[in-house]
Structure 1
Amino acid sequence: MGCVISKKSERTPRYEEPSVLAATTPFTASEVEALYVLFKKLSNSIIAGGLIRKFQLALFRNRNRRNLFADRIFDLFDMRRNGVIEFGGFVRSLGIFHPDAPIEDKIAFAFRLYDLMNTGYIERQDLKEMVLALLHESDLVLAQDIVETIVDKAFREANTNDDGRIDPEEWKDFVLKNPSLIRNMTLPYLKDLTMAFPSFHSEF
C-alpha cells in the first residue's frame, strides 16, 4: 500500500499525477507516490521550493563515484534545461534506472551520459573519462600507460567504421557485447520502493 498525496497546497511546482507518470514509466502509481516523498525530501533538504538543484542531487553520489556522473545525471534529469529538476522529470529519468526498464533505453541514456561534449558522438576522451570513472568506482588504480591501452583497445572495438568517434549504433553494439558498461544504469532498490524505503508508509 502506497502513501497518499492529499494536500494540494504541498504539491511541488509542475506536479504531475502518479497515474500519469505510472503510465509512462516502470513504476506503479503507489511507487510514484513513494518517489514523490523522496523528491520532496531532496528538494527541501537545503532550500525549500519543491525543485532539485544540482548540489542537492545526492542520490547518485557515494565515496567512490566521481562527480562527473552525478553532474551529468543532473544535466540529463533537467529536461527543461532550466537548472532544476521537476517531479515529472525526476520520475521519468529515474525510470531508466529501474531493473525492468528496457535495455535499449538504458543504452541510449548511457550514450547521452558519456557524450560529455554533447556532440552526438562518444569521442576517445569521453571513453577515457568513462574508463577512469569505472576504475575509480571499483577502487582500481592502474598505471597511466595501462589505462591508455585499455582505452585504445575499447575504442577500436567500438568504433567499427574507424571514423574516430562512436555513434549511437556503434555504442549499442559495443554495450550488447560488454553489458558491464551499463551496470550503473540499474538501481536494484527501485524494484520495490516501498520495501526499500518503509518510512514512506508513515509520511502521510
Structure 2
Amino acid sequence: MNILIHPTYFPSISHYVAMIKTDMVTLEMEDNFQKQTNRNRMYIYSPNGVQLLNIPIKHSLDRHQKYKDVRIENDFGWQKNHFKSLEAAYRTSPFFEYFEDDFRPLFEKKHEFLMDLNLETFELVNDALGIQFSIEKTTEYFHEITHLKDYRSLANGKKDTTQIEEYTQVFNEKHGFLNNLSILDLLFNEGRYAVDYLKNQQL
C-alpha cells in the first residue's frame, strides 16, 4: 500500500500508525499552506496537561502560498522555548535522556523554511525509532487522488479523530491519558517499544 501524507512538525501518533503499515510513503509537497494545522504545531503532555507548541511563521500577502514556500519567523527564540517545554514535559520519562542529544541540535539551528524543518524532524524520529520508509514526494497537487490512500487530513488535528490505546504517560496520575499527541510523547515514554505499539493500532 502507498499512502499520501503531509510532513508535519513532529507528527502526531496517528501519522505514524498510518505510515508503519505501508510499503511507500508519499509526502505532499505541492499543497497550499493552511493555518491552524499541525504543519507548524505539535501537542505534548506538559505538567499542566496538553500543551501546544507552535512555530511562528512569516506572514505572506499571498493567500495561496505554497506550504513549501512558508518561511519561519526566527526572531522570537521559539526553538529555545520548545526545547525547554520538552524538558519540562519529559525529563522524568524513561527515554528522554537517551534521545536528548539526538534532538537537541535541531533546536539550536535556524531553518529558513518550515518544510525543511519538518522533513528533518521526520528523519530524526525515524532514526530514533529505528525504522525506515520508502519515500516519494509529489511534484504536482491533486485535490482528489485514487491511486494512493489519502491521509492528508491527519495534518488537521481538529479533524483527526483517531483513538489509540493507552500507554503510560509521565503525568497520567494528574491528568489521565491524553490521546494522540506528538510522536515524541510515545517515543520518550516507550522508546523503541513504540514500534510494536504503533503496529498494533488502527486508524
What TM-score, normalized by structure 1, do the two folds share? 0.27
Give 1 or 2 for the bigger CA radius of gyration. 1
Which one has a larger percent strand, Structure 1 or Structure 2? 2
Which one has a larger percent helix, Structure 1 or Structure 2? 1
